């Protein structure tokens, strides 16, 4: 009898979980997720869980949100429609004068001049969206941002010497109650330092938390929304062996989904 009750309880939880997830998806977020400009992006939703992630980060329409290293615009195409006419999206690249890589300095520099063309390419022209590098943010930007989000870029910020200035700049831009959300490829807690230093894309969760807290933030919550237990996170060539990059000939990695990822929320101290 006890086993039957336990089984029933587990089943109830299993069936309740999707209902909870649906409850978190507001009409505005549903509309953003279904936006036709995301037609080619939706295949990754099952791995990146954008609706659940933005809910966890407490992002709401009308907010001002800075997206660090927007890159190919995968999250841009979610956030710009979701924030709406009363919100503001900022594509935010680091201060490239501090970069240790000339290649990265060239790729990420001068975002203010490049971003209008990118927005046009993504059919987002005319929306309340701008691009800039942190060192281009004037004093009038201080204390005006509700959320700073860093999606799968902490390893690059760390290995290219940009983490300190980026976290410092983000903290300055955030409002007093502003929050920092991070999604990052997760190394095992016992991974050696030379594997978890960002050079292979993976970093240890305890290291990320320590670095961010040292820059004036307090950890609010963690989530396993973007976890993937199938990822062993020990690939010789790093995270780029996993989908969607698939920089490997190993067939066994192709059906594992994307990398195991930590999802962390911090508040400005």
- The tokens describing 114, both together, are 């490049």
Q: How far apart are the C-alpha atoms of 213 and 42, rounded to whole Å?
A: 33
Kindly report, residue by residue over 103-151, the tens digit of the pLDDT. 999 999 999 999 999 999 999 999 999 999 999 999 999 999 999 999 9
Q: Of all residues in the chain, what percent carry a pLDDT higher than 90?
A: 86
Is the pTM here over 0.85, yes or no? yes
Residue 23: what pLDDT?
Answer: 56
pLDDT-derived band at 9 (thresholds 50, 70, 90) equals very low
Neighbours of 119 (CB within 10 A): 21
Q: How far apart are the C-alpha atoms of 236 and 245, rounded to whole Å?
A: 14
Helix (H) or strand (E) holding 163: helix 163-173
Kindly report, residue by residue over 210-250, the tens digit of the pLDDT. 999 999 999 999 999 999 999 999 999 999 999 998 776 68
Domains of the chain plus CATH, in order, are 27-268 (3.40.50.150)
Report helix, strand or coil for 203.
strand
* The three-state (H, E, C) secondary structure of 14-75, written as one string: HHHHHHHHHHHCCHHHHHHHCCHHHCCCHHHHHHHCHHHHHHHCCCCCCCEEEEECCCCCCC
């Amino acid at each position: 009898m006890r086993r039957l009750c336990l089984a029933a309880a587990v089943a109830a939880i299993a069936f309740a979980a999707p209902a909870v997830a649906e409850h978190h998806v507001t009409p505005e977020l549903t509309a953003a997720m279904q936006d036709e400009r995301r037609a080619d992006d939706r295949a990754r939703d099952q791995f990146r869980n954008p609706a659940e992630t933005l809910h966890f980060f407490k992002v709401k329409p009308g907010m001002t949100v800075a997206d660090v290293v927007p890159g190919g615009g995968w999250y841009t195409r979610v956030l710009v429609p979701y924030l709406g006419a009363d919100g503001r999206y900022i594509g935010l690249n680091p201060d490239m004068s501090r970069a240790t890589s000339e290649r990265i300095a060239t790729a990420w520099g001068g975002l203010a001049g490049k971003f209008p063309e990118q927005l046009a390419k993504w059919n987002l022209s005319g929306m309340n969206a701008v691009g800039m590098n942190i060192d281009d943010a004037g004093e009038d930007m201080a204390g005006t941002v509700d959320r700073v989000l860093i999606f799968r870029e902490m390893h690059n910020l760390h290995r290219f010497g940009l983490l300190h200035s980026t976290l410092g700049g983000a903290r300055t831009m955030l409002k007093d109650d502003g929050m920092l959300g991070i999604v990052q490829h997760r190394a095992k807690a016992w991974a050696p330092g030379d594997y978890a230093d960002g050079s292979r894309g993976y970093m240890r969760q305890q290291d990320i938390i320590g670095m961010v807290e040292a820059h004036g933030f307090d950890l609010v919550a963690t989530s396993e929304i973007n976890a993937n237990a199938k990822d062993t996170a020990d690939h010789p060539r790093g995270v780029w062996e996993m989908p969607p990059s698939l920089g490997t000939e190993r067939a066994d990695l192709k059906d594992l989904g994307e990398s195991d990822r930590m999802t962390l929320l911090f508040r400005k101290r």
